[in-house]
Structures are given as C-alpha cells and as structure tokens.
Amino acid sequence: MHTVVDLISLANEHLGTDLKPDDAGRELTELPCWDSVHLLRLVSLLETELGRQVPVAEMLEARSLSEIWTVAVGT
C-alpha cells in the first residue's frame, strides 16, 4: 500500500464502500454510506496492512481519507 488510492481500494474491498479516488479530499461526512464504524474498521485494516499500530486518536480527528492516509503513514 503506497498511496491514498490504495487506502480507498482497501476500503472498497473490505468495507463494501464504493469510494472513488476523487473522494480522497472530501469531508468524511460528505461520503455516502461512511460512518464511524467504517473508520474504526479501516483503522484495524490499516494496522494489519502496515504491520504496526496507527495513532487511533489522530485517526479519529481526521476529516478526509487523505488525512487518514497522512496519519497512517506519517507515524
């Protein structure tokens, strides 16, 4: 996993979302069918994919998929 597009593909594959690369910068609240359960499941998926823990508190403050990606890879 190397980009936010990979993160979107991961979400689509495992969370059943239909996110597009253009959704990366949109507010999470604007994404169709996105909710806090998706975020928590995505955190778990990211930890598995990256092979390490990610900072959950910072993930919960992220407002877009791009911000989630930045937090995930920036640690």
Give me the residue spans of the domains in the chain.
4-73
CATH topology of domain 4-73: 1.10.1200
Q: What is the pLDDT of residue 8?
A: 97
Q: What is the pLDDT of residue 64?
A: 97
CA angle (30 as vertex; 13, 1 as ends), nearest 5: 35
Q: What is the pLDDT of residue 33?
A: 83
Contacts of 68 (CB under 8 A, 6+ apart): 7, 39, 42, 46, 59, 62
Q: What mean pLDDT is predicted for residues 8-22?
A: 96
Chain segment 19-65, per-residue pLDDT in tens: 999 999 999 999 988 999 999 999 999 999 999 999 999 999 999 99
- Is the confidence at residue 75, as pLDDT, over 70? no
